[in-house]
Amino acid sequence: MAISFSLEGKAALVTGANTGIGQAIAVALAEAGADVALAGRSEPTETLALIAATGRKAVNIKADLSSIEPVGRVIDEAVAGLGKVDILVNNAGIIRRDDLLQFSEEDWDAVMDTNLKTLFFLSQAAAKGMVERGGGKIVNIASLLTFQGGIRVPSYAAAKSGVGGVTKAMANELAAKGVQVNAIAPGYISTNNTAALQGDETRNRQILERIPTGRWGDPKDIAGAAVFLASPASDYVTGHVLAVDGGWLAR
Ligand code: NAP
């Protein structure tokens, strides 16, 4: 049997795909053959055009994922547009930076709600259809802070560590039902999310000194791992957090 990385005939839902890592993943899934629904609060004009250029179908679902309120509607609209959801990529995420001693409850809740609570309940909603159809793939975007504590980002470290835990929890319950749940832990990737770090000369130098590959990652560096984890080639991979980090964790 030939190993297949093809997503021909599959329907994917990607959150936060107007920019950065989500955009690169959505376009790569389309290039691999999937139709793609995009869920987010900003208009994903560029991503829609890039998917259209691949010849695949793209559906836009407007949703603010800072609470779980739109979760049911997002799945309903994805199914209405594409017929089903075979692949869910939980990419939408935010970061709040502040000194530990003054870190606010608002900055704690905002990051936990968007990065962890919505990720779980959207996965739960998508998994119901996947289980009914006997298969599916959930790919969560974790972080190096799934493994490390970071500096001045306690809610982000907590949420992304939680993403690692809930990935394994979901994988354990869904494996026998044909659904694989994995996560990707991106290293330092050049996006809006890391613009402040890249702009800080000292931190930028410290970061680059530690990355064996010697450069910031590009969003496209994450897309190959996402296609693998969405494809039949990864059918025996579940509950795994795959670091795509230029070697950062190997140091
Ligand atoms: P980004 O360019 O800031 O993209 C984040 C995406 O999430 C945007 O599409 C954003 O939409 C969306 N989003 C945020 N809050 C949302 C909400 N309430 N409702 C709907 N969509 C929302 O950052 P990125 O670096 O590509 O981040 C993507 C994911 O990778 C995040 O989970 C992030 O934590 C993770 N990650 C990034 C890095 C890195 O080095 N860049 C490293 C590890 C993990 P808006 O444009 O509307 O804000």
CA quadruple 48, 51, 57, 58: dihedral positive or negative? negative
pTM, full prediction: 0.98
Q: Which atom of ligand 1 is nearest to the CA of 44?
A: 9
211 Cβ inside 6 Å of ligand 1: no
Q: What is the pLDDT of residues 114-135, one digit of tens each?
A: 999 999 999 999 999 999 999 9
Please report the pLDDT score of residue 1 as a whole number: 65
Q: What is the pLDDT of residues 208-225, one digit of tens each?
A: 999 999 999 999 999 999
Please determine, for residue 111, whether its predicted confidence score (pLDDT) is greater than 70: yes
Distances (CA, A) of 119 to 5, 51, 183, 190: 25, 24, 12, 23
188 Cβ inside 6 Å of ligand 1: yes
Please report the pLDDT score of residue 19 as a whole number: 97
For the residues of 140-179, what is the DSSP string, one character each?
Answer: EE--GGGTS--SS-HHHHHHHHHHHHHHHHHHHHHGGGTE
Q: What is the pLDDT of residues 151-201, one digit of tens each?
A: 999 999 999 999 999 999 999 999 999 999 999 999 999 999 899 889 999
88: pLDDT confidence band, cut at 50, 70 and 90? very high
User: Distance from the CA of 134 to the center of ligand 1, in angstroms?
Assistant: 30
Domain ranges, ordered by start, for the chain? 11-244
User: Distance from the CA of 98 to the center of ligand 1, in angstroms?
Assistant: 18
44 Cβ inside 6 Å of ligand 1: no
Decide if 184 contacts 142 (C-beta within 8 A). yes
**Distance between CA atoms of residues 154 and 149, nearest Å:** 7
**What average pLDDT does the segment 226-234 reach?**
98
Active-site residue (options: 38, 118, 127, 156): 156
Distances (CA, A) of 236 to 1, 24, 230: 15, 25, 12
Per residue, what are the HEC states of 30-56? Answer: HHCCCEEEEEECCCCHHHHHHHHHHCC
User: Distance from the CA of 132 to the center of ligand 1, in angstroms?
Assistant: 30
- Compute the mean pLDDT over every residue in the chain, rounded to the nearest whole number: 97
**Active site includes 156?**
yes
Asked if CATH classification 3.30.70.980 holds for the domain at 11-244, the reply, yes or no, is no
